[in-house]
A and B are shown apart, each in its own frame.
Chain A
Amino acid sequence: MISANLAAVSYLVSGILFILALRGLSSPDTSRQGNYFGIAGMIIAIVVTFLSVGNFSSSLSYVIIFLLIGGAIGAFIAFKIPMTAMPELVAGFHSLVGLAAVFVAIAAFLNPAAFNLGNVGNIKLASLIEMSIGAAVGAITFSGSIIAFLKLRGIMSGAPITFSGQHMLNLILGIGIFVLIFYLCKTQSTNIFWTVIVISFLVGVLLIIPIGGADMPVVISMLNSYSGWAAAGIGFTLENTALIITGALVGSSGAILSYIMCKAMNRSFVSVILGGFGADNSTNDNKEKKDQKPVKSGNAEDAAFLMKNASSVIIVPGYGMAVAQAQHALREMVDKLKKNDIKVTYAIHPVAGRMPGHMNVLLAEANVPYDEVFELEDINNDFANSDVAFVIGANDVTNPVAKTDPKSPIFGMPVLDVEKCKSVLFVKRSLSPGYAGIDNELFYKDNTLMLFADAKKMTEDIVKNLD
């Protein structure tokens, strides 16, 4: 048994270690060290909790057994998961944090004495408010993340599901949660507590179903943020500094990522949450007309010829590369080009892929050095001086319409200036529009050569033709 003060100081130390863990991520060189800080912080928090409870009865052995069961499952997943499945893994992990928050809140509600929060039916008012908010946010995180997981995994269609009165219903349920928490504080009724949790589960589902596949980077970041706020809510209940600090860190981290993602799509956070993006087919007429325009298409041989004669090539990867698992073939192609003394760099749009930094991880997996990979603002000026842009699996993020047509739904979104390259190679399966549901003008430019094929197959064919 250690004193409460020592325990509090130790929790502060683990909070600081978590801050250092995030700080380490400011550069790939320090990031690994940062991760060790995080692990150390977690070990301190867990050990101190054991020592401060000091109840070394037979329960302890069960706690350790359960810890190891969970740990084994987690470790198994971490080693087995393919890098392309990272977005759904993160969504799945968020749901677990949410559910754990709900369960801790339930446990505290049923047995407040164990947490020094008063007695059953007479829980301290502040604690009751904190635990019900923690439980509600946790429940929303849980069910919302499950829906995000199902959409990312492809078990559920990525198309937005909307119905009339949806936002009204969400609003009413949201207000309902607050009213119920108010009555919960007055009556301490168990039934109301359960009702709050059930409604929150429902809100989580309703919040995420109207959001389309292309908005997933925002959704994942948002749920990341929610899981942090849920942890902070529980931290207030348990009067635990480590949880409060961590909750605040994670909450603001997720919020910043959501903001960055929204800005990269030039969309407001509210419009993403209201959802329905990509379901709108009002631009369809427009598209059919444009389909008549001539398109130049080529094969792997043409592409290989163009690139061989170039002196600099910029690769623009997108979600399609992840789907086709083309990153390794791509890396092979780049190696061949480099042997011919061609300068190759990668340009990554912030919302390429299904989560922040998705493309960077896939390229890193394929052994692409991170100093060859550039963000939008760092490389956008280079397109004008480059010979070939190789667009693989990206679409909307290269559409020049965003700069020229104020009527376009993506107008104002920062895009990669791919069209300024001397020639553009565009790997795509068909001329179909991307998630924004609009046609890409780039297809019809004179300097664009369309390569209609699966990204991986096309890249492999190009590799063969480069010999």
Chain B
Amino acid sequence: MEIDPFIFRLSIFILSIFIGYYVVWSVTPSLHTPLMSVTNAISSVIIVGAIIAALAGNSDSIFNTSSIFGFIAIILAAINIFGGFLVTQRMLQMYKKKKDKKK
């Protein structure tokens, strides 16, 4: 009997939860805000679904009901991707070590 491909995806999902668990516990508390903004940016990888939906329109009707939702979702996800990564970058640039160690 063959294994349902769903089981493979479920395995990936559950293993990823464990990876997430251990990786996130090792994040230093002072970087919790950048953690939130970067998780925000990466969860916008949902844009792949939006692109598939948007490209599904044919040349006669680029904008049919389904692809319009795709196009709007592209805008929403793109705001998040660019906004999320850039604001994270901006925050991380600010974290500096002591420069003048006077001793």
Contacts and interface: CB of A to CB of B under 8 A. Distances in A.
Q: Do A and B bind each other?
A: yes
Contact of B20 (A107, A252, A356): A252
B75 A111 contact: no
Interface stretch (A171-179, A313-321, A370-378, A391-399): A370-378
A18 B87 CA distance: 17
A103 B54 contact: no
Nearest to A17: B42
A53 B51 contact: yes
B74 A66 contact: yes
A350 B85 CA distance: 24
Given A22-B39, A114-B56, A251-B20, A46 B47 contact: yes
Interface residues of A, number: 116
A68 B88 CA distance: 19
| Residue from the set A70, A72, A256, A350 with the largest chain B CB neighbour count within 10 Å | A70
Contact of B53 (A25, A27, A93, A114): A114
| Residue from the set A28, A74, A89, A356 with the largest chain B CB neighbour count within 10 Å | A74
B36 A126 contact: no
A139 to B, nearest CB: 13
Interface in B11-59: 12-14, 16-17, 19-21, 23-59
Contacts of A356: 29, 32-33, 35-36
A18 B34 CA distance: 14
Interface stretch (A54-62, A380-388, A426-434): A54-62
A69 interface: yes
Nearest to B81: A42
A400 interface: no
A418 interface: no
A152 interface: no
A94 B52 CA distance: 22
B45 A71 contact: no
A63 B89 contact: no
Given A104-B50, A107-B67, A249 B40 contact: no
A329 interface: no
A248 B58 CA distance: 34
B70 A107 contact: yes
Contacts of B73: 99-100, 103-104, 107
Given A19-B19, A53-B52, A103 B36 contact: no
Interface in A338-386: 348, 350, 355-358, 360-361, 364-365, 367, 369-373, 375
B31 A97 contact: no
B41 A38 contact: yes
| Residue from the set A72, A75, A250 with the largest chain B CB neighbour count within 10 Å | A250
Given A104-B69, A257-B36, A26 B26 contact: yes
Contacts of A239: 5, 9
A96 interface: yes
Given A49-B51, A75-B86, A104-B53, A90 B41 contact: no
A38 B97 CA distance: 24
Given A28-B28, A104-B49, A111 B83 contact: no
A200 interface: no
A97 B52 contact: no
A149 to B, nearest CB: 13
Interface stretch (A225-233, A272-280, A284-292, A405-413): A225-233
A96 B83 CA distance: 11
B78 A231 contact: no
A158 interface: no
A305 interface: no
A69 B42 contact: no
Nearest to A43: B81
Contacts of B84: 74, 78, 93
Contacts of A60: 55
A100 B29 contact: no
B89 A35 contact: yes
Interface in B73-103: 73-99
13 contacts: A31-B34, A49-B51, A67-B75, A100-B44, A100-B47, A228-B39, A239-B9, A242-B45, A247-B43, A250-B20, A355-B36, A357-B29, A369-B97
Interface of B: 5-6, 9, 12-14, 16-17, 19-21, 23-59, 62, 64-67, 69-99
Interface of A: 11, 14-15, 18-19, 21-23, 25-28, 31-32, 34-35, 38-39, 41-42, 45-46, 49-50, 53, 55, 57-60, 62-63, 66-75, 77-79, 81, 83, 86, 89-90, 93-94, 96-97, 99-101, 103-104, 106-108, 110-111, 113-115, 126, 220-221, 224, 227-228, 231-232, 234-254, 256-257, 260, 348, 350, 355-358, 360-361, 364-365, 367, 369-373, 375
